[in-house]
Every structure is written in structure tokens, then in C-alpha cells.
């Protein structure tokens, strides 16, 4: 059951997981930003864990983690290109659950920050660990999703049939204790 335009589980695709993760990341991101904007004036900071984690309201006109201030339309174009790339990959391959989870995080985060750039002109950041630029849930979702994708790329092996499927190598004990192929 494969077809262009299908997002639900088709051909082994974990569409439900991808959608659930993407929508959850987007909702958590947008709700948290709304709460921060409503409860803190810009540059106001409140300790959550004193000396470790603060809520600091920052209006970020740049990229993730406050890098490259300005360039709003460059970041809008980059976000759209990333989302288009994810869509093309999704429909031209058969991602597994792990990849669906990772792509869902990247998608939810990218859409969250893209919405802010288009609707507000800047992104609201608020997690402040004082040794790293202030960031938000969308930034964290994108970062975690990319780390998971890199993990898959670095530690997965291509199947022996040459179909291009990837799986994380797992050693399993030989139930007969004879080793080899049993011949």
C-alpha cells in the first residue's frame, strides 16, 4: 500500500509516529513561547534551577541558538528547503520508526521557528544555561533530531541484500551454540 501523498503507515512507513512527534514538538514549542511572551518582558530572567537553568525572554532575529543575527529571509528559505527535503526523502524512501522520530523532531522544530519568523519577524528563545546561547523547544527538537539522524548515519549498517535498508547492528547469541550457518 504505497502512494504519493500518503502520510499514514504505508509500505512500513511510521507516518503516525512522524506526525505525532512533529505536532507534539510544534505545540510544545508554540505554547511555551506564548507563556514566556505573556509572563516575561524581553530580557527578563527568572531562575528555574539557580546557577544552572533560567527562563530568559530573548527576541532572536537570527538562527538557532542566536547565531547569525538578521537574515530573516535566509532562515525562512533554509527552513522551507529543509522541510521540502524531508518531504522528498519521506516519499522516496521507506523510513523506519527511528528515522520517523528523528524527522518528526526536525520537522516540528523547523515549523515552530518558521512560524515565528513569518508571523512575528523573530523567534522567542528562553532556555538559558548561561554557558550557551539562549534557545527554545524548537531549537532543542531540531538539535536532537539531527543528532539522531547522525547516529543512524554513523552507526547503522546497510543490509546485506543491497537494498539500501539500514539497521543498527545487534549481536544475537547462536541458539544452537554451534556458530556459523548451521551447515
Residues labelled catalytic: 125, 139
Which of 98, 99, 110, 101 has its CA nearest to residue 136? 110
* Beta carbons of 26 and 18 less than 8 angstroms apart: no
Dump the DSSP string for 141-163.
Answer: HHHHHHHHHHHHHHHEEE-TTSS
Taking each helix axis as running N to C, give the angle between helix 15-39 and helix 137-155, from 0 to 180 degrees, rounded to the nearest 10: 150
Amino acid at each position: 500500500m504505497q502512494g504519493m501523498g500518503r502520510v499514514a503507515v504505508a509500505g512500513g512507513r511510521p507516518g503516525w509516529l512522524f506526525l505525532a512527534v512533529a505536532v507534539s514538538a510544534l505545540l510544545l514549542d508554540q505554547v511555551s513561547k506564548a507563556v514566556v511572551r505573556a509572563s516575561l518582558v524581553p530580557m527578563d530572567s527568572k531562575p528555574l534551577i539557580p546557577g544552572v537553568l533560567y527562563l530568559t525572554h530573548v527576541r532572536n532575529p537570527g538562527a538557532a541558538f542566536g547565531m547569525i543575527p538578521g537574515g530573516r529571509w535566509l532562515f525562512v528559505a533554509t527552513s522551507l528547503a529543509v522541510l521540502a527535503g524531508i518531504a522528498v526523502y519521506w516519499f522516496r524512501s521507506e523510513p523506519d520508526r527511528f528515522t520517523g522520530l528523528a524527522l518528526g523532531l526536525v520537522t516540528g522544530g523547523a515549523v515552530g521557528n518558521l512560524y515565528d519568523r513569518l508571523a512575528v519577524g523573530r523567534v522567542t528563545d528562553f532556555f538559558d544555561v548561561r554557558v550557551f546561547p539562549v534557545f527554545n523547544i524548537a531549537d532543542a527538537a531540531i538539535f536532537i533530531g539531527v543528532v539522531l539522524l547522525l547516529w543512524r548515519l554513523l552507526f547503522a549498517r546497510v543490509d546485506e541484500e543491497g537494498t539500501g535498508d539500514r539497521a543498527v547492528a545487534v549481536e544475537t547469541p547462536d541458539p544452537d551454540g554451534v556458530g556459523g550457518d548451521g551447515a
